[in-house]
Every structure is written in C-alpha cells, then in structure tokens.
Amino acid sequence: MPRFKLTIEYAGTRYSGWQIQANARTVQGEIDHAIREVTRRREFELYGAGRTDAGVHALAQVAHLELYTDLPPAVLRSRINDALAADIHIRQIEKVPHRFHARHDAVSRSYLYQIARRKTAFFKPYVWWIKEPLDLARVRDAAAAFVGMKNFASFTADEPGEKSTRVLIEGLELAEDGALLLLRIQGSHFLWRMVRRIVGVLAAVGRGDLTVGQAAGFLDERSGIPAALTAPASGLFLERVMYAGDSGPGPLRGVFRVE
C-alpha cells in the first residue's frame, strides 16, 4: 500500500488536540473524515508525529498516510484541502518509502511559544498576554538550566512509571519581535504539557515570582509548582518535526508581528 508524508498546519483553537477522540472534535479526526470523503476509502492509516493538546497549534505537523489511491499527491492534497475547514491546511503531500514512520523516524522537534507584552485585539487565540514586565536576563539565565539531558518529572502530567521522564533539550532560544517575546524549545521528544510548564516557570522567573535557582531546582526534586504555572495552550505552536538529513528550524520569528 502506498505511503505518503503529510505536512500540516492548523489553528488548534476549535479542536480537542490532534489525536482522534470519541465525542470530541480533533484535527486528526477532521483529516480522517476528509480523506474518507475524497477517496471513498475506509481502510487506511493516518498517524501523526506527535499529539498536540487542545488549543495548541501547528506550523508543520507531520503525519504519514498509508492509502490505496490512483490520485497524484498534488491532486490528493488539493481535494483533501477542499474538504477541510479553513483552520486546517495540508501544506504538502509526498510519496515516501513504506518504512517511513512519522513519529518513530523523527529525530528532533521544535516548539514555538508566543508571549504578548501588550493586549492585542486580533491575536488573543495565538499568544499569552502577560501584563507584568519580564526581566529577560533572568529568563535567559533560567532557560540555560533546561538545556541538556535533564529529568522533567516535575514538568509532565504523564503517569509516573509509564516511561522515562528524562528528555534531551537541544536548545532553548529567546527572541524579541516587536511586542512579542518568542521562545523556541527544541528536543528529542516532549512529555505531556512539558513545554507549557517550562514556559510557565520561565515567565514566573521573569516576573520575579521565582528565582533562577528555584527554577533549576525543579529538575532535581519533584514539585507541583510547575503544574500550577502551566502556560495557556493559546501561545504554543508545534513548529517543526525533523528527520535524518533535515536542516534545523531556521531563524526564530513570530507567526505574525505585534508592534
């Protein structure tokens, strides 16, 4: 059966995450329905590189699709997009070897988080507005503690004992773009809610609610504080999923500009 690689962008505001769920509207569910409508096929596999939570967006989610079809990739892409709502868009469909697996073959992932430092009338679903001033020097100092192979047990809501909570964070970048503060976190993989809890802790450091040492200490001893500081889903984007031979995520920039 032919296998395709799909690169997908979506605004997650209206959806209960990526993965199909009973009695909930999800991104995977919408794409699954569109494929059925377009191809009249019932037997196919659609598998994403990662599960984004409710309200989280994607600039370039990756999925593989195993499907019998005579349609060329460009035609298949066009017809699926015509069947999808405007907030989900298949950017690319390409044939790949049958052994390609969207999740297992991924070597790195990057997430982008957007913090607005002023109230915005237009982009509320895509930012976290923080009213208080943020000390970016302190945020950068705290961010450095998260880079490397670290134990993120305090930063996940996964069930203890199900899998290792040690994750390799390859980089954590900060940049200013107008009234936006941008954070990019790149790593081998991510635990459930891990990125949002890291962002929440860094924001607390920037506001002066936590010290740099306290933030780093959450990696040494399990604490419930990061869970209480979880950043909203609205500002989070799955930016890139990288495979062997891919270049990095490129320059850090916002999805839009807020002056």
Look up the CATH number of the domain holding residue 26.
Answer: 3.30.70.580
Domain end among 96, 130, 150: 96
pLDDT of residue 115 exceeding 80, the answer is yes
pLDDT of residue 161 exceeding 70, the answer is no
Contact 93, 43 (CB under 8 A): no
Q: What is the pTM of this model?
A: 0.94
Least confident span in 54-58, 105-109, 155-159, 190-194 = 155-159
pLDDT of residue 69 exceeding 90, the answer is yes
Annotated catalytic sites, by residue? 53
Per-residue pLDDT reduced to its tens digit, 31-53: 999 999 999 988 999 999 998 99
Q: Are residues 120 and 224 in the same domain?
A: yes
On whether residue 124 sits in a domain, the answer given is: yes
Question: Which domain covers residue 19, as residue numbers?
Answer: 3-96
On whether residue 210 sits in a domain, the answer given is: yes
pLDDT at 220 (0 to 100): 87
pLDDT of residue 160 exceeding 70, the answer is no
On whether residue 144 sits in a domain, the answer given is: yes
pLDDT of residue 185 exceeding 90, the answer is yes
